[in-house]
Amino acid sequence: MFKNVHFTWIHEIWANFVGKTGDNFYKMQNIPLAERMRPQKLEDLVGQEHLLAEDAVLARVIHSGRIPSMILWGPPGVGKTTLARLIANTSKRPFIPLSAINSGVKDIREAISKAKNQRFFDRPNPILFIDEIHRFSKSQQDALLGAVEDGTITLIGATTENPSFEVIPALLSRCQVYVLRHLDDEALISLVQTAMNQDEELSKKNISIKEYEALLMYSGGDARKLLNVLDLVTGQSRDGEIEVTNDLVKSVIQRNLALYDKGGEQHYDVISAFIKSIRGSDPNAAVYWLARMIEGGEDVKFIARRLVISAAEDIGLANPNALLIAQSCAEMVQFVGLPEARIILSEAAIYLAVSAKSNSAYLAIQQAQRVVRETGPLPVPLHLRNAPTKLMKDLDYGRGYAYAHDYRENFVSQKYLPDEVSEEVMYRPQNNRHEEVFLQKLRRFWPERYPTEETEDNET
């Protein structure tokens, strides 16, 4: 992510302050190495040459000065935030940062208002940078649309998740998407060497790196984490002499480095990997990510809640017992507590991972909500209305309603939807043992909505 770098403006301000106080010891000590090594020019970034090489697509856009709204998609620690700041600096635009973790609609509106107040004459519009934009709800993303559309702001969103699924279509259609790549070992090693040569503190020490494997392993391809690890390891030497080996790195790390930060980005990334492993029917990965959370001190109630959600969203009607298992797990972990609760969580996670999968219930409610938003509060058909008073009965409330239990198989064909949406199909059974049974029943009851394959072929 970084090469040939100088000190950041934050470091310069801090150094100026420290110089006045005369406390030079704290001059560098309180600024993390990753911050000290933050790039100051586009060419300082490493690992993203496909975007930033001289004739690459994003480099041409930046140097043209016509910056579109964009989404920067890539794994943690590859330079998304840094790139956004450099784009603002290069294009000489005001930079307004927000984090989706702790910002709401009010913060968005205040940022947009601030941007409007900065629009003078030919001054370029500000860049509103939203870190982890995938964590914004639909209403929060909706709040950005008008300002992006009329050019009040240029939006740059950073995300570790696929924006096709996490950014609303209306906003995504107004943005270019640029994919940042995972940093390979060569890029990470170059960062270490650059830091040792150019950082004011590290360059004073006699550091030799005999083995890189542990440094690279603990970094997980994250440049920020790599430099934090290097900072920890090299900080162990008082005489300036240090030989970095795999054993030294492992002994220093242990619990000193938050391999799982339950209050930060790792909290979301690891739970995301956990749920996706269950969804992908991989019990081995599921218990691995579960162990990562338990070892990191994650709240077991939080894990159990996510299992309940996964049981409903991803297993659903393919195995209705999964929701009961997850519910029981959520109750039991509170009753038992750690360390035994880990066994209950493991059992539930494995059961959900090996269960058949269906998201038909999730898709059904999504479709139903979309129809409601598009059609508004349609009137309830008269025969379905409640008629507790004589006046309501005189107005035909409830007239013509057929009581299903009076009929064979407890079913009678009648309309349950408003006429305007009577042909909508919200629930579509998926291909699993339980829902195959549902489908056969629905084909008998509602043949127009659930035609057999033979009927569909004839109509075609």
| Matching residue, tokens 């127009």 | 448
Distances in Å between the alpha carbon of 351 and those of 125, 177, 307, 315, 436? 52, 37, 10, 10, 21
**CATH 1.10.3710 occupies which residues in the chain?**
383-459
What is the per-residue pLDDT for 9?
A: 38
**CATH 1.20.272.10 occupies which residues in the chain?**
265-354
What is the per-residue pLDDT for 203?
A: 81
What is the per-residue pLDDT for 155?
A: 94
Q: CB 218: neighbour CB atoms within 10 A?
A: 21
Burial of 144 (0-12, 13-18, 19+ CB in 10 A): buried
HEC secondary structure over the chain? CCCCCCCCHHHHHHHHHHHHHCCCHHHHHCCCHHHHCCCCCHHHCCCCHHHHCCCCHHHHHHHHCCCCCEEEECCCCCCHHHHHHHHHHHCCCCEEEEECCCCCHHHHHHHHHHHHHCCCCCCCCCEEEEECHHHCCHHHHHHHHHHHHCCCCEEEEEECCCHHHHCCHHHHCCCEEEECCCCCHHHHHHHHHHHHHHCCCHHHCEEEECCCHHHHHHHCCCHHHHHHHHHHHHCCCCCCEEEECHHHHHHHHCCCCCCCCCCCHHHHHHHHHHHHHHHCCCHHHHHHHHHHHHHCCCCHHHHHHHHHHHHHHHHHHHCCHHHHHHHHHHHHHHHHCCCCHHHHHHHHHHHHHHCCCCCHHHHHHHHHHHHHHHHCCCCCCHHHCCCCCHHHHHCCCCCCCCCHHHCHHHCCCCCCCCHHHCCCCCCCCCCCHHHHHHHHHHHHHCCCCCCCHHHHHHHC
Handedness of CA 64, 67, 68, 72 (dihedral sign): positive
Q: CB 46: neighbour CB atoms within 10 A?
A: 23
* Architecture of the structural domain at 383-459: Orthogonal Bundle (1.10)
Q: What is the homologous superfamily of the domain 48-179 according to CATH?
A: P-loop containing nucleotide triphosphate hydrolases (3.40.50.300)
- Threshold 0.75, pTM exceeds: no
> Which structure tokens are listed for 109?
């509106």
Beta pairing partners, 71: 157, 177
**CATH 3.40.50.300 occupies which residues in the chain?**
48-179
Beta pairing partners, 107: none
Q: CB 303: neighbour CB atoms within 10 A?
A: 23
| Helix (H/G/I), strand (E/B), else coil: 129 | strand
What is the per-residue pLDDT for 266?
A: 64
pLDDT in tens, the chain (460 residues): 544 444 333 344 334 433 433 444 334 445 788 888 888 888 888 889 899 888 889 999 998 888 999 999 988 888 999 999 999 999 888 899 988 877 888 888 888 988 888 766 567 889 999 998 988 888 889 889 989 998 889 999 999 888 888 888 999 999 999 999 888 888 899 899 888 888 888 888 888 888 888 888 878 788 888 888 888 888 766 666 788 888 888 877 765 544 555 555 566 778 888 999 999 989 898 999 999 888 777 888 889 999 999 999 999 999 999 999 999 999 999 888 878 889 999 999 999 999 999 999 999 998 998 888 888 888 888 888 887 787 777 778 888 888 888 888 888 888 888 888 888 888 888 888 888 888 998 898 889 888 887 655 555 4
Dihedral angle of Cα 14, 19, 22, 26, to the nearest 10 degrees: 30
CATH topology classification for 265-354 = Zinc Finger, Delta Prime; domain 3 (1.20.272)
What is the per-residue pLDDT for 27?
A: 43
What is the per-residue pLDDT for 24?
A: 42
Burial 366-377 (b: 16+ CB within 10 A, else e): eeeeeeeeeeee
Distance from C-alpha of 330 to C-alpha of 302, rounded to nearest angstrom: 9
Contacts of 356 (CB under 8 A, 6+ apart): 315, 318, 319, 432, 433, 434
Q: Are 361 and 309 spatial neighbours (Cβ–Cβ below 8 Å)?
A: no
| Matching residue, tokens 């699993």 | 432
| Matching residue, tokens 């064979």 | 408
